[in-house]
Structure 1
Amino acid sequence: MSNYAQELRETAQAMVAPGKGILAMDESNGTCNKRFEKLGIPATEDRRRAYRELILTTPKLSEFVSGAILFDETIRQSSKSGVPFTEVMKTAGLIIGIKVDTGAKDLAGCPEEKVTEGLDGLRDRVAEYYKMGARFAKWRAVITIGEGIPSSTCIEANAHALARYAALCQEGGLVPIVEPEVLIDGNHTIERCYEVTDETLQVVFNQLRLNKVPLDQIILKPSMVISGLACPTQAGVEQVAEMTIKCLRNNVPVTVPGVAFLSGGQTYEQSSAHLNTMNLKYGSLYPWRVTFSYARAIQQPALDHWRGDDANIPAAQQILYHRAKLNGAASLGQYTPDMEKAPVSV
């Protein structure tokens, strides 16, 4: 049992406190640069730093966000005035999180499939990040639905890596966010997504048990059960909520403190509406907190407004705060589409 067990339990509970979710701002430099290039923002370390400062200094963000997942570059950066981002976050009441995987790589023997790497040297990285103030971590596994895939090889390999990562994090004092993402890309039906998500979660929790990971000290970050983006028949909000909760209830043990969904290619409105319907209709049926760990679904509108121009920071922060507020409401089953039109004010 980890020396940090009590601290880990308390952190996990705080990460999914009522009305709050987790902000995923851990995109790699390459991904961040691609988003910048689309908007004509210079792909430089200075602009990445400025963008991350915009997010972390958004006034009152902690009303709806418990913590933020950072990339390695970000946890080492400071604000324009020289305050380390870790200190900025502590002052703002945000728990510091860190992405620790090194990305999804081609899985040998399994064409079109990926396995996430990063276990080598992870114990030492966890120790360093804990010293820097991090209290939770993230590792993302990627499962693709396609012709004849996912293979059981791919699901097992990713689940095993997730479990070993989780055990190493808990040993070193970080709450592991366990993220098995079934990708939305493809023409598969919601029923096919259900089958794959069901099998994936089953294998992930088997591996977590085999690797002696206490489940009251993790947060699950799954994808929703949803139609593939290219599927001609798109399931409605009610069906997505119903099938997602059914899948979770079949697989997620009661000891897990929280489920924080990724938005994974949904529109801003969809990701809020799906989360809201789950909590509104089924909130009394599950024992864990059900909330968000969104990236683009919260940040993209602010990034679109900012466009690298510091004169746009206050308005961009208001947009960010507004999206966080809507998802905070959705995590309590209190979101309505009318709130999308509400005036933005902090």
Structure 2
Amino acid sequence: MNAQDLIDTARMLVADYKGLLAMDESNPTCNKRFAKLGIPQTEEARRAYRELIITTPGLGEYISGAILYDETIRQQKKDGAPFLQVIIDAGIIPGIKVDIGAKDMAGHPGEKITEGLDGLRDRLKEYFQMGARFAKWRAVITIGVGIPSRGCIEANAQALARYAALCQEAGLVPIVEPEVLMEGSHTLSRCSKVTEEVLQTVFNQLYTQRVMLEGMILKPNMVLPGLTCSQQESVDEVADATVNCLLRAVPAAVRGIAFLSGGQSGELASARLNAMNLKFKLRSPTVGQSPSPWALAFSFARAIQQPALEIWQGKDANVSAAQQALLHRAKCNWAARRGEYKAAMEGTGA
């Protein structure tokens, strides 16, 4: 492990108001999204879509890193150029999803445990040699009647910490993603309490496993009411709840926080990210100097990709228009990091 390299990579992932593009959907997940739009569920269709994304002109101006799937990191453009080289040439740092998914947790009905630690050391070594410089592991926490349990939270926290330690050993910056899901009828207050408990448990385990916090990125959920909760708080209320939760649970040594979108619309995710950054900006005693102990960035998947996918429809004639939509959402989130996103940007392509 080269500690300075890890610190430098983590810094670059959240530098210049940029964020991460999560394009690490598994093949089954990608196929489901294609099926809804009538796009063929084939390896070639997935390759073509991913080529559309990584060849979007100007993407590197707003995106610092791209999280890839195992199939994606090995693919090539139609002309034979490796995806990895295309991404690097665009000024984007390549990363890789390394967990193998959330499975039902034994003895814990309704809860999941993420698997993939077996053989991970060797896989990380291979990905580093291929050119990846960071990795991602996602744990999922469900809020419901009597859940999440301590057993579920602690098991997932330990797995995240063990993954993170192995990443740093291999020279990869770990993206640590404990996601408290939006699904459910829980209140904003309940989500805040669960998220804080989860984050505190995760960082306790990161300390135990001797993970260097300066060489990692946290990818948490925003604090939100459940999708079916009768009370849906405003953008500013969500921003306040999220920031306050993070201030209580996330050490200042962490290089950056890159929020997941978790099923939010692109516009709403941008507005909430903007509100968080704007509040820090307004509280600052010095203009342009943020009192936040960490950069507040983004690591969005559908919230950036969905409009482009709907425009593309699997047709070559739609590639340019789809790329413009993708770039627009990336730019909106770049603006949100600056506290400069406005709803008027939508529909203008500005």
- Give the TM-score, by structure 1 length: 0.98
Aligned ranges 1:215-254 → 2 under 5 Å: 215-254=213-252
What RMSD in Å do the two structures reach over aligned CA positions?
0.7
**Cα separation, 1, equivalents of 2:326 and 2:349:** 13
Looking at structure 2, the residues matched to 67 and 149 of structure 1 have their Cα atoms a distance apart, in angstroms, of: 34
- How many Å apart are 1:129 and its aligned residue? 0.1
Shift of 1:266: 1.0
Find the aligned partners of 1:38 and 1:218 in 2 and give their Cα distance: 36
Q: Output aligned runs, 1:55-204, within 5 Å.
A: 55-204=53-202
Paired position in structure 2 for 1:342: 348
| Cα deviations by residue, 1:218-269 (Å, 9 ceiling, x for unpaired) | 0000000011000011011011000100000011111111000000011111
Residue from 275, 278, 281 that aligns with 2:276: 278
Partner of 1:316: 322
Distance 2:221 2:337 in 1: 15
Moved runs in structure 1, 4+ residues, more than 3 A? none
Contact residue 103 and residue 117 of structure 1 kept, 8 A: yes
Contact map agreement 1:56 1:88 (CA 8 A) in 2: yes
* Counterpart check, 1:306 vs 2:312: yes
Percent pairwise identity: 65
Query: Could you tell me how far apart the structure 1 residues matched to 2:337 and 2:139 are?
Result: 24
Note the C-alpha offset of 1:18.
2.4
In the TM superposition, what is the alpha-carbon distance from 1:341 to its structure 2 partner? 2.5
Residue 20 of structure 1 corresponds to 18
Which stretches in structure 1 are left out of the alignment for 5+ residues? none
TM-score (norm 2): 0.97
Q: 1:288 — aligned with what?
A: 294
How many residue pairs get matched?
Answer: 342
Q: CA deviation at 1:285?
A: 3.5
Aligned-pair distance for 1:282? 2.2
CA distance in 2, matches of 1:343, 1:30: 31
Given that residues 276 and 330 in structure 1 are in contact (C-alpha distance below 8 angstroms), is that contact kept between their aligned partners in structure 2? yes
Return 5+ residue gaps in structure 2 as ranges.
282-289
CA distance in 2, matches of 1:61, 1:139: 24
The SS at the match of 1:59 is coil
Cα-to-partner distance string for 1:183-202 (whole Å, 9 max, x where unaligned): 00000000000010000000
Deviation (angstroms), 1:174: 0.5
